[in-house]
Chains A and B, each alone.
Chain A
Amino acid sequence: MFLINCPYCGERDQSEFSCGGEAHIVRPKQPTELSDDQWAEYLFMRKNIKGVQFERWNHAHGCRKWFNMVRDTSNDKIHAIYKMGEKPPVE
């Protein structure tokens, strides 16, 4: 349990948000061209990192907008929050 600083609403309790999983998984441009292995990779395989991970979050019980978050999954510390479409921070 932690606080999340929504880029649109400010700091709110984590229970107001829902997590959309790993960020920056690109939707296939040519779905018909994909092999079964590539579909499995896109649909199911996840990095599931213990450490700094990039994620999508949604302020479900607030503005309902999506944004990205850089969070350390080993201690739930949030390193950065940035809007959809913005470049992920390097560090």
Chain B
Amino acid sequence: MKNKYSIFSLIKNAFSQHENWKQAWGDPEPKKEYEAIIIGGGGHGLATAYYLAKKHNMRNIAVLEKGWIGGGNTGRNTTIIRSNYLWDASAGLYDHALKIWENLSQELNYNIMFSQRGVMNLAHNLQDVRDLKRRTHANRLNGIDAVWLNTDQVKEFCPIINTSPDIRYPVLGGTLQRRAGTARHDAVAWGYARGADEMGVDIIQNCEVKGIKRNGDQVEGVETSKGFIKTKKIGVVAAGHSSVIANMAGLKLPLESKPLQALVSEPVKPIIDTVVMSNAVHAYVSQSDKGELVIGAGTDAYVSYTQRGSHDVVEGTLKAILELYPIFSRMKMLRQWGGIVDICPDASPIISKTNIKGLYFNCGWGTGGFKATPGSGDLFAHTIANDEPHKLNAAFNLNRFVSGDLVDEHGAAAVAH
């Protein structure tokens, strides 16, 4: 590695007032032709390029990003990482990602601040209790750590939760995955960008894709705001804008794009050292290293590309937060934002070939794509390089909407992903 980050490089640069750090990735103009092009410079796209270069030795590739890298949903999510999904296919996919997360800072030589602080999912009614217990058993059969906690154990693990039986949706218990946690989302994009750039990948920012050129059933290249670029393989990782790119290629996808909101509070001293999620009342909260409460709200129930979201959605989430955590009642919220998420009918992603040769889609991550970033990139790179899915993403093909073999994760993931 050319510019390895270490304690020594830190000391060395301290003597020059940290003014001589090298740029972590370049700013190249696009070449005329690439072996493969990744559309979308978010975490998933950059990870795909990184693994294409690292594991499949494809170095003549480019990542096209219409804005700046990590400026979309990668920088807009609530950074939660977990793998406690119900179905075998999902468990395989998300736990593959979690295993990569556990060593990612070392692999990238970039501190992504991965923190396995645990994720707790609360149950508020009898059906929740049954569903979550079932999920705990399914997780353990798949080798994923999961435990059921009763109300007292929930209170012990996170003392600020209001476990009084008098509240509208009382806490009847919860599940805990201790290996789950959070990571610094920007660092994930930057770390992958730096790693990919070092292996020769061109990361081209401010380059919007305007069209996809096809010759019959084979892709020939992409029309961009920086001119035409020739290629035989295109991997689309455009999140909320996947349908827009698909329309350019004359494809229709089973997706609906909706704004998903999150918000953060003013920074305070450490008060919550884990992540607590509640599907039934739709509120989840954790605390960033800066001290802000990071709160996830829901999606609007209609298609929109506005990156805003409705006020009533935030209001509903904050009502639930206040009932569960009365201690937060005087907190002020600092910022609120929306990201456009592409949601599949079965709440599972698509990592798949299409019926157009050389065109691959990695989309449909809906409200929960961040946690899968390394695994998604790894498996999508495999799919693009070999023109065949890996066994871990075979179930997440586009054809499942024709065959009916859906991966219905609504029960396990539903609103809060």
Contacts from A to B (Cβ < 8 Å): 1, 14-15, 18-19, 21, 36-37, 39-41, 43-50, 53, 55, 73-76
Contacts and interface: CB of A to CB of B under 8 A. Distances in A.
Nearest to A74: B305
A73 B304 CA distance: 5
A43 to B, nearest CB: 8
A71 to B, nearest CB: 8
A74 B306 contact: yes
Contacts of B309: 1
B311 A1 contact: yes
8 contacts: A1-B308, A19-B302, A21-B256, A39-B402, A41-B252, A44-B254, A46-B256, A53-B303
A50 B401 contact: no
Contact of A47 (B252, B301, B403): B252
Given A48-B253, A48-B256, 13 more contacts: A14-B310, A19-B303, A45-B254, A45-B401, A46-B256, A47-B252, A48-B243, A48-B255, A48-B303, A48-B342, A50-B241, A50-B257, A73-B303
Contact of B303 (A1, A18, A55, A75): A55
A79 B301 CA distance: 19
Given A15-B312, A40-B402, A73-B304, A47 B254 contact: no
B346 to A, nearest CB: 9
Interface string B388-417: 000000000000011110000000000000
Most buried by B among A14, A40, A75: A40
A44 B304 CA distance: 18
A18 B301 contact: yes
Contacts of A75: 306
A15 B250 CA distance: 34
Interface of B: 241, 243-244, 247, 252-257, 301-306, 308-312, 342, 345, 401-404
Across the A-B interface, give the 9 residue pairs with the lowest CB-CB distance, nearest first. Answer: A19-B302, A44-B254, A48-B243, A1-B310, A40-B402, A15-B312, A45-B252, A44-B401, A40-B401
A60 B335 CA distance: 31
B403 A46 contact: no
Nearest to A45: B252
Contact of B402 (A36, A48, A55): A36
A76 B252 contact: no
Contact of B306 (A14, A44, A48, A76): A76
Contacts of A21: 256, 303
Contacts of A55: 302-303
A47 B243 contact: yes
B306 A46 contact: no
B312 A1 contact: yes
A58 to B, nearest CB: 11
Most buried by A among B253, B255, B256, B304: B304
A47 B311 CA distance: 26
User: Which residue among A37, A41, A43, A44 has the maximum number of chain B CB atoms within 10 Å of its CB?
Assistant: A44
A41 B254 CA distance: 8
A48 B252 CA distance: 9
B402 A37 contact: yes
Contacts of B342: 48
Contacts of B403: 36
